[in-house]
Chain A
Amino acid sequence: MTWTQYLAPLLKGAQVTVMISLASITIGALLAFAAGIARTSSNRIISGIAFVYIVLFRGTPLLVQLFWFYYALPLIGVSFDPITTGIMTLSLLTGAFGAEVVRGALLAVPPTQLEAARALNFSKTYTLWHISMPQAIIEMMPSFGNLAIQNLKDTALVSLISIADLTFQAQSMRNITLDSATVYTLTLLGYFIIALCLMLIVRFIEMKLRRGPAFPRSAHS
C-alpha cells in the first residue's frame, strides 16, 4: 500500500471528525452562554446549578467522562449511541470551559456602565443584551477560538468509544499496514488543516462582530 491508498479511509474519518467537532462546538457555545450568564445571575439556585456543572466537567478528564457515558451509564439502563455520546460529552466539556470565558468577559464590562444603565432605569435583561453582551462577546472571541481548536483535538478521543473518526481510521490503517510513520504524519496533517479552517472561521466571526453596529471598538476601551 502506498500513502495515496490511505487517503480514502482517512478522508472518511476526517468527515466524521469535522461533523462531531462542529456539532459539539455549536452545542457547547449555547451551553457556555447559558451557564456563563447563569453564573452572573443574582439568583443563587440558578448560579449554583451552573457552578456545579462547570466544576464537574472542568474538573474531570474527558476520556473518563466518555467512558462513563459509554460504558457505565448503560449499566443503569440509559444508553445513547456512540455518536450521540461523543457529541454530548464534548459539548458539555466545551460548554463548561466556555462558560468561564463568558462569565469573565461579562464581568470585564466596566461597572460604571452598569450603574449608568441602572440610572436610566434599564431592566436587567435589557442591560445584559444591549449593554454588556455586545461588548463582552468581542472579548470572548479569542478565547472561543482557543476552545474551538481544543475541542477539535479532543475529538480524537471518541475513537476509543468505537466512532470511526480520523484517529480511529488511522489506528485501523496502522493495524493492517504497520506503517505508523506515514499514517500518523497524514493524520497530523489532516487535523492541522481542519484546525486552520476553524481558526479562519473564528477570525471571520470576530471581524464581523468588531464591525458590528452596536459598539465600535474604540468606544469602550
Chain B
Amino acid sequence: MKTMISYGVAVLALAAGIGGAQALTLDEVKSAGYIQAATANEVPYGYMKEDGTAAGIGPDVAIAVLKRMGVNEVNWTVTPFGTLIPGLKARRFAFAAAEQNISPERCKQVAFTEPNSSYGEGLLVKKGNPKKLTTYADIAKDPSLKVAVVSGANNIDFLRAVGVKDDQIVIIQANADAPATVQSRVDAYAATELTVSKLAEGSEAVEQVRPFTDPIVDGKPVRNYGGFAFRLEDKELHDAFNKALVEFRKTEDYQKILTSYGLSAESIKAAAAKNVADLCAGK
C-alpha cells in the first residue's frame, strides 16, 4: 500500500512537473522578472481595487521596496485572511503583504520582516452605541452580548484575554460582512482601529466606538505590529527584502504611503521603534 501511495505521488509529481521544495532566491525572482505576492481583502491594509490592481499599506510599501531591489513587477493574489499563511507554506506566493500582526505563534510558521506599521484595536457598533461599549472588557461583563471577529485574525485572542467567552464570539469570513452583522446579529465587531474606521466611514447604521480604550493584556495595552511574511526557508530573499524595507522606512515616500491610509505619526514611529526579534519572542 505504501509503495502504491508513493508511486501514485511520483506520477502526480511528474504530471505537475514539480520536484521537492527549494528555497526561492532573489536572483530567481530577478531573472523571472516578477514576484508572486498575496494580500487579504482588508481595507486599508491590503485589498484589490476595481481595476484588479492591489492597494493598501502592505501592497503599496511592498511595491516600493521591491522597486528598490530591482523587481518591478508584482503579481497579486487576493486570498482570505485565514489562508495567507497556509497559502504561503503551500508555495502559492512568495510573500504575504497584509500587515499581519507579528506574533510569536506566527513567527514559528513564517519569517516576518521588521514591522511596517503599528495599529491599535477598535470596535464597530450600531449607531449611537446602544450598549455603551468602550473597550473589549465591557463585552466580557455581560454574557448576553455577542461580538464578531474575522476568521484567522488575532482580535479573538485579545477578546479571550480580557475574559470574553467563546459562545459570545461569532466568526465571520470577511470584513465586508461586518456592517450587516453588526446591524442584525451581534452587538459589536472587533477589529483593528483602521479597519473599523474605514467600515464606519459614511455609514448611517454603524459607528466606531470613540473614545476607545485598547484592551490590557499581560499588564499593558495591546498594540499590533504588522509585517511582511516570507517562508522560513527563503531566508536570502527575506533578508534582502528586509534590508530594503528598513532603508525605505527612513524615506519621506514611506511616511506618505502610511499617512495616506490614515495611520498617525505616532503609529509610524511606534512601528520603527520595535524590532521583529523582540516581537517574535513575545516581548
Contacts and interface: CB of A to CB of B under 8 A. Distances in A.
Interface of A: 1, 5, 9, 70-80, 82, 160, 162, 164, 168, 171-176, 178, 180
Nearest to A179: B176
Specify which of A74, A164, A180 lies most central, judged by the most chain B CB atoms within 10 Å of its CB: A74
B83 A71 contact: yes
B140 to A, nearest CB: 29
A71 B18 contact: no
Given A79-B16, A171-B176, A70 B92 contact: yes
A64 to B, nearest CB: 13
Interface in B37-82: 38, 41-43, 47-50, 52, 77-80
16 contacts: A9-B50, A71-B87, A74-B91, A78-B12, A79-B18, A162-B38, A168-B78, A171-B41, A172-B78, A175-B41, A175-B43, A176-B48, A176-B49, A178-B176, A178-B203, A180-B177
B16 to A, nearest CB: 5
B180 interface: yes
A95 B73 CA distance: 39
B86 interface: yes
B50 A5 contact: yes
A160 B92 CA distance: 13
A173 B41 CA distance: 10
Report the 6 A-B pairs with minimum CB-CB distance, sorted nearest first: A74-B90, A175-B41, A175-B176, A174-B176, A71-B86, A71-B90
Contacts of A173: 50
Contacts of A71: 83, 86-87, 89-90, 92
Nearest to A77: B20
Contacts of B156: none
B72 to A, nearest CB: 22
Contact of A78 (B18, B47, B175, B203): B18
Given A160-B80, A175-B41, A75 B176 contact: no
A142 B231 CA distance: 49
A80 B50 contact: no
Contacts of A80: 16
Given A71-B86, A78-B9, A79-B18, A171 B174 contact: yes
A76 B50 CA distance: 36
A74 B86 CA distance: 10
Contacts of B48: 172, 175-176
Contacts of B9: 76-78
A129 to B, nearest CB: 29
B50 A176 contact: yes
B87 A162 contact: yes
B219 interface: no
A175 B86 contact: no
B13 interface: yes
A89 B85 CA distance: 22
B122 interface: no
B78 to A, nearest CB: 6
A70 B77 contact: no
Contacts of A180: 176-177, 180
Nearest to A181: B180
Interface in B174-213: 174-177, 179-180, 199, 203
Nearest to A163: B77
B130 interface: no
B126 to A, nearest CB: 16
Given A74-B92, A76-B9, A180-B176, A172 B16 contact: no
A168 B78 CA distance: 9
B19 interface: yes
Nearest to B177: A180
Interface in B4-20: 9, 12-13, 16, 18-20
Nearest to A79: B18
B50 A175 contact: no
B21 interface: yes
A123 B208 CA distance: 77
Contacts of B78: 162, 168, 172
Given A79-B90, A162-B38, 5 more contacts: A74-B89, A74-B90, A174-B176, A176-B49, A178-B179
